[in-house]
Amino acid sequence: MAVGTIVWLGSEVMFFAGLFAIYFTLRNASPELWAESTPTLNVTFAAVNTAILVLSSFTAQAGVFAAERFQPYRRGSIWQFRQWGMAEWFVLSFIMGAVFVSGQVWEYATLVAEGLPITANSYASAFYLTTGFHALHVTGGLVAFLLVVGRAYAVKNFGRKEMTSAIVVSYYWHFVDVVWIVLFFVIYIVK
């Protein structure tokens, strides 16, 4: 299962490499369009949204550590974070990922309201395609978190299968985070 996921993530690397190629090709063809369009982005908002997504990788990894201890749920009060199990850490990761996607939707709505819909020009198309496909991947990760948490509650004994599922979902989540970090620097920082 883990090896198959790693192979599949390799194909996802190629998919995002293609999106980056499109982005850089269009950027190279119209540098003046990029120069006038990039100031419309809210870099501060995107940086905060990025921080939320990056922090969710740490909470997801804490969930993996709990799964490796075969601890699916918390042992104590909800406020005793050190006693949390995989489910609590993954639910927190899910919430943070959902906040990230909601932030992207808000950013899209703001840009459209400011006159930059996907059909405006090649810059808008490249921006929405790259960030939009990433948002779809994050949404897939959110579904995976829910499935793993649901499975933890559905089985009588949390075992190796459930632990491996948690690890595989974390691989995917870390991948999505790394892709976003690169996207963030390419789109928001490199002018």
Using the predicted structure, report yes or no on whether residue 185 has a pLDDT greater than 80: yes
Cα–Cα distances in angstroms (integers) from residue 35 to residues 38, 69, 98, 113, 187, in the given order = 6, 51, 31, 20, 12
Which class for 176: exposed (0-12), middle (13-18), buried (19 or more C-beta within 10 A)? buried
Question: Is the distance from CB of 67 to CB of 164 less than 8 angstroms?
Answer: no
Q: Is the pLDDT of residue 1 over 70?
A: no
Per residue in 38-71, pLDDT (tens digit) is: 889 999 999 999 999 999 999 999 999 999 998 8
Taking Cα atoms as reference points, which of 143, 111, 146, 134 lies closest to residue 180?
134
8 Å CB contact between 167 and 70: no
Q: What is the mean pLDDT of the chain?
A: 90
Pick the CATH number of 2-189 from 1.20.120.80, 3.30.70.1140, 1.10.4190.10, 3.40.930.10: 1.20.120.80
Instruction: Count the neighbouring beta carbons within 10 Å of the beta carbon of residue 114.
Output: 9
Instruction: Look at the pTM and tell me if it is higher than 0.75.
Output: yes
Query: Residue 21 pLDDT more than 80?
Result: yes
| CA dist., res. 169 & res. 157, Å (int) | 19
